[in-house]
Chains A and B, each alone.
Chain A
Amino acid sequence: MSTLEKPTRADESNLSPLPDACGHFGRYGGKFVPETLMAALAELETVYLQAKTDPSFESEMRGYLRHYVGRPTPLYFARRLTEHLGGARIYLKREDLCHTGAHKINNTLGQILLACRMGKSRVIAETGAGQHGVATATVAARFGLACEVYMGTEDMRRQALNVVRMRLLGAKVTPVESGSRTLKDAINEAMRDWVTNVETTHYVLGSVLGAHPYPMMVRDFQSIIGREARAQILELEGRLPDYLVACVGGGSNSIGLFYDFLHEPAVRMIGVEAAGLGIESGRHAARFASGELGVLHGTLSFILQDGDGQIRPTHSVSAGLDYPSVGPEHSYYRDRGRIDFVSATDAEALEAFQLLSQLEGLIPALESAHAIAYVKKLAPTLGKDQIVAVNLSGRGDKDVEVVAELLKPLTPNS
């Protein structure tokens, strides 16, 4: 199978643009949706491709990213974390400083501008950690669109702060009681809504998941992260980083950071999945550790499933990583050996959560804490002249209640 062969350097530097016209990244990706949605996907693709080459769209995006989202976000040298770990120099890409507190708004803004171009009066979204829901509710408020967000009741419990935020922003938050009551089930419900209201409604999908053109379009909107990081590291260090590290739920913050470096063979890229209670326990969300090829929510990728092709329940302390599939482009670059995948457990993420808070005064999102957890292992193995850039995809205010609860038995003086 050709996609499993490792590429040579020459072919790394002249890869044809992905995905192909049908939305395939090698054998991954595609469009596996009910026929009712095919016309809407085609319309979205047409409008997106037009916008992409339209200077007025570009300048509109640039304006809102700068004045509303607060871009560019800093690339911050984490001096105390670097000293503590005693190895590579660690930089944090500060997506936590984006308006609403995570990278999600880079994509939400782009999609809502497209929704306006398509004349849609309503947007819907799914959300796990609540960050994508908050970002959608925020931009919908800014542009005067009706907004409904689907969220599993398990996630509403553990990300209660974000539920309040969405409602304050004027969005309707609809609880989802089916299945595992997490992100996967919220996507099912959002797709059912979209099939029903497709003429008036745009579905703002929150990661590089779903049917074509979503994985391509969301990647493009998030790739601003890596473009900025490249310019910033060149200015600060005069060279490219040796490693890029990011957590991987659906994969939007990771591909956003990696995309601009894919053609740089000297830059290694590592995606960190959620190992939950440990891979052996079976209670995790590490698709590349024990997943198999399959189709979920419109795209072919690696999926956690049982022997009969039924989707398996996942677990992670972090709602944003608690999902049984992963963006198809990640599967493609994993096969080619271009992106490596590792995982961090709940316990490791909690430890990293505290470490970053105490050493740098930065409370990370539990999702981002998974990336920090891996850096904690990686940095000490590298020389002091090496550079690691980590995506701090979001801030952790939303998680403090859950973390406090989990740490209670461990802190005798509280």
Chain B
Amino acid sequence: MNRIDERFRKLRESGERALMPYLTAGDPDLLTTRALILECEEQGADLIEIGVPFSDPLADGVTIQRASQRALQGGTTLTRILEMVSDLRAECQLPLLLMSYVNPIFHFGFTRFANEAAAAGVDGLIVPDLPPEEATELIEAAAAHNLHTIFLIAPTSRPERVRTIAAASKGFIYYVSLRGVTGVRSRLSDDLEASLRMIRAETDLPLAVGFGISTPEQVRRVATVADGVIVGSAIVSLLEQTAGQPDQLKRAGDFIASLKVATKK
């Protein structure tokens, strides 16, 4: 069984929601990312999204743009990220997802990428600029290794598209909670609940919500309607602010712990 399915099954049994932190791999280096993933696990995170840095991250706001820039400057590549995951896998039980723009994995080769990601111990793939229509090759290559392909639904997606996306998704569906790019927002959209209800009419897959969610209060609110909550820019921003400080890991861990509490009833 894929670790993602297993995790959501257990969470359903215990009536909890999933906390999914997002980290830009290699910001500022892969050793730090490795340590952070283990710290997230320690503090109760349920799944980890590992962002593959890209030179032109057009779905991201300034926080993740800067993190990607730092990671690339530090020499982070897809190959090194896969090595890091492979090395980490023995110590880490969490489902690990790679989130990459399409070009780095297209260039790597979809089939080769699915082979190597699965071999490294990756459980799922999220490619924000690859809609299901263009993803046939990746979906097939991933399925051959029981690697889940997770697609995104947006507030602008109509019901018939929701059906297409749900049919292509495995593990869970990523609901983008706002019109816009990633980044910290002070307000969440009001129509979240209605949107998730519309999606649930089309699929039984767990729904995870991301984009703009940054505080324990926001996590608590989203956790009342979603199966999982994704927090990215707020964590990346904290790492930027605490860069080079001796208590960085602890402060990140404390923040994760405060978010995890908010996913429990």
Using a CB–CB cutoff of 8 Å, the interface residues on chain A facing chain B are: 22, 30-40, 178-179, 184-185, 187-188, 191-192, 195-199, 292-298, 300, 303, 305, 308-311
Contacts and interface: CB of A to CB of B under 8 A. Distances in A.
B106 A311 contact: no
B222 interface: no
B157 A311 contact: no
Nearest to A313: B55
B259 interface: no
Given A195-B181, A309-B106, A39 B58 contact: no
B103 A36 contact: no
B55 to A, nearest CB: 4
B179 A308 contact: no
B104 A308 contact: yes
Interface stretch (B7-15, B139-147, B148-156, B187-195): B148-156
B107 interface: yes
B106 A295 contact: yes
Contacts, number: 113
Contacts of A39: 154, 156-158, 161
A56 B46 CA distance: 58
B102 A198 contact: no
Nearest to A178: B65
Contacts of A300: 106
A34 B103 contact: no
Interface of B: 54-59, 61, 65, 72, 77-79, 102-108, 128-131, 133-134, 151-158, 161, 165, 176, 179-181
B180 A309 contact: no
Contacts of A30: 133-134
A286 B58 CA distance: 23
A36 B78 contact: no
Contacts of A179: 55-56
B154 A35 contact: yes
A35 B103 contact: no
Contacts of B58: 34, 187-188, 191-192, 297
A34 B102 contact: no
B107 A298 contact: no
B196 to A, nearest CB: 15
B131 A311 contact: no
Contacts of A192: 58-59, 61, 180-181
A34 B107 contact: no
A373 to B, nearest CB: 30
A32 B134 contact: yes
B132 to A, nearest CB: 9
B72 A36 contact: no
A38 B58 CA distance: 15
A30 B131 CA distance: 10
B134 A31 contact: yes
Nearest to A40: B156
Q: Residue among A36, A37, A40, A195 with the most chain B CB within 10 A?
A: A36
B131 A35 contact: yes
A311 B104 CA distance: 9
A297 B59 CA distance: 11
B78 A309 contact: yes
Contact of B107 (A184, A185, A187, A309): A309
B179 A198 contact: yes
B56 A184 contact: yes
Given A39-B161, A195-B180, A295-B103, A311 B129 contact: no
Contacts of B151: 35
